[in-house]
């Protein structure tokens, strides 16, 4: 189903943000809503670097900014780094 996540967050058991959160206007609000609407979250997001400035139309954050946001909103989660990306696994309570 195609939808604008800036306007509406669906609900369900699991959500996967595959290189998409950094394209959204209100990343923190959307992630907070996703935590409320889903039991499991998987996020794959790029870390801001020179490549993304040239070729990505989104607004990726620096690694420390992503981690601060994940810490504030998710609290307990697993984080993996691979090259220029962060992979996050979250299970709600």
Q: Give pLDDT, residue 6.
A: 87
**Per-residue pLDDT for 89 more than 70?**
yes
DSSP state of 59: -
Residue 75's φ and ψ, nearest 5 degrees, are: 75, -90
Alpha helices, DSSP H, located in the chain:
27-37, 50-55, 63-74
Q: Write the pLDDT tens digit of every residue in 27-55.
A: 999 999 999 999 999 999 998 875 555 56
49 or 20: whose pLDDT is higher?
Answer: 20
Supply the pLDDT for residue 31: 97
pTM for the model stands at: 0.88
């Amino acid at each position: 189903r195609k939808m604008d996540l800036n306007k509406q967050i669906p609900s369900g058991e699991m959500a996967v943000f595959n290189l998409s959160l950094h394209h959204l206007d209100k990343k923190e609000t959307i992630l907070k809503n996703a935590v409320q609407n889903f039991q499991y979250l998987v996020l794959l997001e790029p870390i801001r670097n020179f490549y993304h400035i040239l070729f990505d139309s989104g607004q990726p954050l620096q690694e420390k900014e992503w981690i601060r946001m994940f810490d504030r909103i998710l609290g307990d989660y697993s984080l993996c780094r691979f090259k220029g990306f962060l992979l996050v696994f979250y299970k709600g309570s």
